[in-house]
Structure 1
Amino acid sequence: MKMIWGRLFGVMSELAGIGLLLTSAWLIVRAAEQPPVLYLMIAIVSVRFFGLARAALRYVERLLTHDAAFARVTEARIAVYRDLDRVAPGGMPSHRRGDLVSRVVSDVDAIQDRVLRLRGPWVVALVSAAVTVALATVIEPRAGAVLAATTLTAMGAVRVVVPWSVRRAGALTARWRGDLAADVSQAVLAAPDLVAYGATDVLRRETRRSTASLAAAQRRAAVVSGLGEAVVLLATGVAVAAIAALSGDLNPVLVGIVVLAPLALVESLSALAEAERLRPEIEGAEARLAELSLAAAAITDPVDVHPLPTSYDLAARDLAVGWSSTVAKGIDLELPEGGVLGVTGPSGCGKSTLAHTLARLVEPSEGQVLLGGVDVRELAASDVRSVVGYLGQDEIVFDTSIRENLRIADPKATDADMLKALDTAGLGDFVASLPDGLGTTVGERGNRLSGGERQRLCLARLVLGGHRVLIVDEPTEHLDAAAGEALMDDLLALAPDRSLVVISHSAAVLERVGRVVAVGDAQHVPHRIAV
């Protein structure tokens, strides 16, 4: 309803602008005849009214339409997040992280552009043109016919030529914007390693290439937009000349109105040129969002969902794991409820993939994972993940407060619940010592925290979420010996209330864990492993 009212006020604002121009034209011509001033009072008041009304109506129109558009964008962005949750991580092997960010941000904004910058201008232009043509026809039928013909010609040309030119010129900036976002995201994440290995030039060249391609596409789009406006101005010039030639026998006071009528439509028709320049971009963004919504889910729940078992024993039977191909197979392991198990092996042998499979983020290639004696494929994925939590070595920490970072795990958690989880993770005293406590902001990627504090915050998030089986991947990575030892103390203290799977290369960590299984060998050849 807000959008409908917004469209109405937008049309009224444009009509007020047209009324302002045409009334001014009549007033100037009539005043040149030097009539009594009382004859001009209505026109004078009308000029003031139209001038003030145009600004007021435009303000109300923007307020209503943007409010409605933002509501739609919010709903669309939530839908995209749900799609990402449904298909990630197994359903998006060909997408780079930055490209996904571009979809969530730029492509969703295209929905707003369709509502505000594509449909809106067409509604306003069509209604304004109809009213102006009708007025010109009443005054001079031939002028109305000319104005109708030139206006329809301009609209048709803009609708066909501009989108065609954008596509032909390759001026679709969304694709290059996605590439640039992916390159920049990769640069930010890999910057420390690239600097350490002296390989920054490679990524710098790629980023410059994406930047140059995006800039070139935007320049081509600007040229096309100028082409659309040139079409509008050409049609307007033809209309003015033709109407002036046909209005020789018309009352001089009315000549100014019909001659300036085409100029009154320039603003609304020019807006169509910009709208049509955006059409291919908007359609491309919607196609990418549709592709995401139609992507197959990484995990499919069974038709008949088995209830979550009361036991949290975790086991694997002749398990094979992988993404597009198997990277490790023949895995057998047992983790009784409250137990601790270590997993080791060379880089690339499938340890993290095994962790994702145990947490039901990836389907097993072969074999089965059992939770409480029930195959996880018979359980709802959300139920499995409510029990089995995964803590990666580069877990995401958002640039917000400690409270909001924890609330991700349980939106209904109270401050007391959060402090208890932080105590369990060994971070309670630290947070209590901060002036703002739970309200302390952690900085981008948690850069205001030390490595150990960041890991403990992520661990507290798992604890707050109520997970009973915790899979931690390289928990002491990037930590010095003392910090790593202290973190392991707090991790092992979680048992026997919670089961632990600790993935690590560190001999010191594995010695403390006790039972260890090995995945792969030095040559990364998958082979059977057992406890």
Structure 2
Amino acid sequence: MSRTYSRRARLGTGLAMGVAAQLAAVGLLLASAWLIVRAAEQPPVLYLMVAIVSVRFFGISRSVLRYVERLLTHDVALADAVEQRVATYTDLDRAAPAGLGDLRRGDLVSRVVADVARMQDRLLRLRIPWWIGLAATAVVVVVVALIDAPSGLVITAGVAVAALSLRWLVARAGSRRSGRAEAQGRLSAEVAAAAVAARELVAFGAADEARATASTATGDAESAQSGGASVAGIGSAVVLAVAGLTVAVLAALSGGLDPVLVGVVLLAPIALVEPWDGWSEAERLRPEVTAAAARLAALADLGAPVEDPADPRPLPDGNDLVVEDVRVGWDTPVTTPISFKVPEGAAMAVTGPSGVGKSTLGYALLRLLPTWHGTVSLGGVPTTELSAAEVRRRIGYLGQDDAVFDTSIRENLRIADPEADDERLRAALASAGLLVSVDAMPQGLDTPVGEHGGRLSGGERQRLCLARLLLADHRVLVLDEPTEHLDAPTAAALMDDVLALAGPGGRSLVVISHSPAVLARFDDVVRLSRVDP
């Protein structure tokens, strides 16, 4: 409650500072107009001192007030952006196990980065300019009306025309030319796909086709960007046209005014051009902000493959893993019923033909996917009665191509535990059989691994992923094709270290593999069978 109140207080104070800054800008122009006209009458200089001081005051205070307004409102907007980004990552974490539909990697990055950043504009460049502009405009209208009521009515009419024209014309033009976010998402997707598959594209002679596709996406993004510039031009034209027309009408009606006040009244619409320009920019951005909100909402609407029970049971002390008559699959069951038991500290293997559901079974063991039938129990408790996050704290998964990030060995390990010290990192590397190699590297733990671990050998990369899994202290390890893409000696050495993790007081192992050499290392092997069509 206090945090929300504090944020609202900062926003309210920031808006007040913004209105004051806008009024200072208006006051600077109107005071200058009065000073110039009055000075032309050559009065004693003392008659001008108040106006001179006012001009200086408005000029200085405008900058100070604007700075304070930006400081406070941006603080609120950035706090909102942090919450939005966390919510977006939470949505992805919930939905990712079941897949993200037709979202490609580059488009997903665009949504997480660009769309969340665009949501900051909803407050800073859409709502605040309207609020500040309306407040400042209302004050100017009241001041002019006190000087001359008909002039006040004319400016009121000009304000109404400007607001309605911008709200309808610019927003309509922007909607027709919207799609910049989608175009940038497509461009990001094409570039990311081409970058990831660059070697394969060159090897198979498809680089030119990928380049043409990326070029088309670039052209679409440029077209969308150009459309935004044309909308901005339409808004500026509307603002200048309304301001000029208002000045012309005021000039025609100013015959009865005191000559000193004529300049003040005629320049009042000009003083409102700045807030009106803010309205124009807000309306130009409105379709983009709306589209960004819709794209983020689409992520939030992605369904979770696994729902936690309303009242989850506490995680049991035991680590025995029991699978009873389980059938798994994505859209339909693909396996016959599966049953096996992995006592704490034991090791077993799972095999079967390609496409039979071996990896899918691994996902089901971690409650990343639901089972179609049967029960998976951990420590004697069905995992459906436990929180999915708690199950994943106990059961860890190592896939065939786990992510290795383009940073140091240390930071790749700390993904599992950001607070881990070097002693724990080295212990995990030792258990994974990688410590000797890391110590031989000139930079040790600070050695950069390159993109996708490209600076490491295949065996080192797998061991690094295994060390990260061990650092998270999972007690049951599901290893999916751990020796894939490794030569026979490297694969054998890796399996020696993997099997050393099991045993009394050690971790339980479920190794998914189709390699005869790997399967020969296990006494207990479960073979999966496909459902007959």
Is the partner of 1:368 in helix, strand or coil?
A: strand
The whole-number CA distance in structure 2 between the counterparts of 1:196 and 1:472 is 31
Aligned to 2:295: 288
Is the partner of 2:281 in helix, strand or coil?
A: helix
Q: Deviations over 1:42-71 (max 9, x none)?
A: 222222222222222222222222122111
The whole-number CA distance in structure 2 between the counterparts of 1:194 and 1:27 is 71
The whole-number CA distance in structure 2 between the counterparts of 1:468 and 1:333 is 18
Cα distance, 1:369–1:51 mapped onto 2, change above 3 Å: same
Asked if 1:391 corresponds to 2:395, the answer is: no
Q: Which runs of 5+ in 2 are unaligned?
A: 1-8
Is the partner of 1:502 in helix, strand or coil?
A: strand
Cα distance, 1:480–1:196 mapped onto 2, change above 3 Å: farther
Aligned to 2:66: 58
Asked if 1:506 corresponds to 2:515, the answer is: yes
TM (normalized to structure 2)? 0.91
Cα distance, 1:212–1:29 mapped onto 2, change above 3 Å: same
Equivalent residue for 2:427, pick from 382, 407, 420 = 420
The whole-number CA distance in structure 2 between the counterparts of 1:450 and 1:222 is 49
Equivalent residue for 2:143, pick from 135, 138, 150 = 135
Q: 2:81 corresponds to which letter in structure 1?
A: V
1:88-99 paired onto structure 2 within 5 Å: 88-90=96-98, 92-99=100-107
Aligned to 1:230: 237
Is the partner of 1:247 in helix, strand or coil?
A: helix
The whole-number CA distance in structure 2 between the counterparts of 1:383 and 1:375 is 12
Alpha-carbon deviation of 1:237? 1.0
Aligned to 1:255: 262
Aligned to 2:6: none
Aligned to 2:4: none
Equivalent residue for 2:314, pick from 307, 315, 318 = 307
After TM superposition, the structure 1 stretch with the greater mean CA deviation from structure 2, 311-320 or 151-160, is 311-320
1:75-224 paired onto structure 2 within 5 Å: 75-90=83-98, 92-167=100-175, 169-224=176-231
The whole-number CA distance in structure 1 between the counterparts of 2:186 and 2:334 is 29
Is the partner of 1:343 in helix, strand or coil?
A: strand
Aligned to 2:372: 365
Aligned to 1:321: 328
Q: Is 1:425–1:491's contact at 8 Å kept on the other side of the alignment?
A: yes
The whole-number CA distance in structure 2 between the counterparts of 1:510 and 1:373 is 27
Q: Is 2:350–2:525's contact at 8 Å kept on the other side of the alignment?
A: yes
Q: How many residues align?
A: 523
Q: 2:159 corresponds to which letter in structure 1?
A: T
Q: Is 2:403–2:452's contact at 8 Å kept on the other side of the alignment?
A: yes
Q: Deviations over 1:122-166 (max 9, x none)?
A: 111111111111121122211111111111111112112222222
The whole-number CA distance in structure 2 between the counterparts of 1:287 and 1:78 is 17
The whole-number CA distance in structure 2 between the counterparts of 1:342 and 1:191 is 35
After TM superposition, the structure 1 stretch with the greater mean CA deviation from structure 2, 35-44 or 273-282, is 35-44
Q: Is 1:91–1:296's contact at 8 Å kept on the other side of the alignment?
A: no
Q: Deviations over 1:314-334 (max 9, x none)?
A: 233332222233333433333
Alpha-carbon deviation of 1:527? 5.9
Cα distance, 1:177–1:519 mapped onto 2, change above 3 Å: farther
1:322-471 paired onto structure 2 within 5 Å: 322-433=329-440, 437-471=444-478
Q: 2:334 corresponds to which letter in structure 1?
A: V
Asked if 1:264 corresponds to 2:296, the answer is: no
Equivalent residue for 2:10, pick from 2, 25, 39 = 2
Identical-residue share of aligned pairs (%) = 55
The whole-number CA distance in structure 1 between the counterparts of 2:196 and 2:363 is 21
Q: Is 1:166–1:172's contact at 8 Å kept on the other side of the alignment?
A: no
Is the partner of 1:322 in helix, strand or coil?
A: coil
Is the partner of 2:334 in helix, strand or coil?
A: strand
Alpha-carbon deviation of 1:433? 4.7
Cα distance, 1:136–1:101 mapped onto 2, change above 3 Å: same
Alpha-carbon deviation of 1:503? 2.6
Cα distance, 1:61–1:170 mapped onto 2, change above 3 Å: same
The whole-number CA distance in structure 1 between the counterparts of 2:324 and 2:482 is 26
Q: 2:53 corresponds to which letter in structure 1?
A: V
The whole-number CA distance in structure 2 between the counterparts of 1:490 and 1:190 is 32
Asked if 1:20 corresponds to 2:22, the answer is: no
Q: Is 2:178–2:287's contact at 8 Å kept on the other side of the alignment?
A: no
Q: 1:48 corresponds to which letter in structure 2?
A: R
Alpha-carbon deviation of 1:73? 0.6
The whole-number CA distance in structure 1 between the counterparts of 2:333 and 2:518 is 28
The whole-number CA distance in structure 1 between the counterparts of 2:265 and 2:421 is 69
The whole-number CA distance in structure 1 between the counterparts of 2:454 and 2:54 is 61
The whole-number CA distance in structure 1 between the counterparts of 2:204 and 2:532 is 33
Q: Which runs of 5+ in 1 are unaligned?
A: none
The whole-number CA distance in structure 1 between the counterparts of 2:321 and 2:209 is 44
The whole-number CA distance in structure 2 between the counterparts of 1:98 and 1:519 is 36
Alpha-carbon deviation of 1:509? 3.0
Q: Deviations over 1:7-45 (max 9, x none)?
A: 222222211211111112122222222223232222222
Q: Is 1:91–1:295's contact at 8 Å kept on the other side of the alignment?
A: no
Q: 1:96 corresponds to which letter in structure 2?
A: R
Aligned to 1:70: 78
Q: Deviations over 1:99-138 (max 9, x none)?
A: 3322221221232111111111111111111111112112
Q: Deviations over 1:144-190 (max 9, x none)?
A: 111111111111121122222222x2422222222223323322333
Is the partner of 1:88 in helix, strand or coil?
A: helix
TM (normalized to structure 1)? 0.91
Q: Deviations over 1:200-254 (max 9, x none)?
A: 3443333333322222222222222221221111111110100111112212221
Is the partner of 2:42 in helix, strand or coil?
A: coil
The whole-number CA distance in structure 2 between the counterparts of 1:329 and 1:112 is 51
The whole-number CA distance in structure 1 between the counterparts of 2:103 and 2:336 is 26
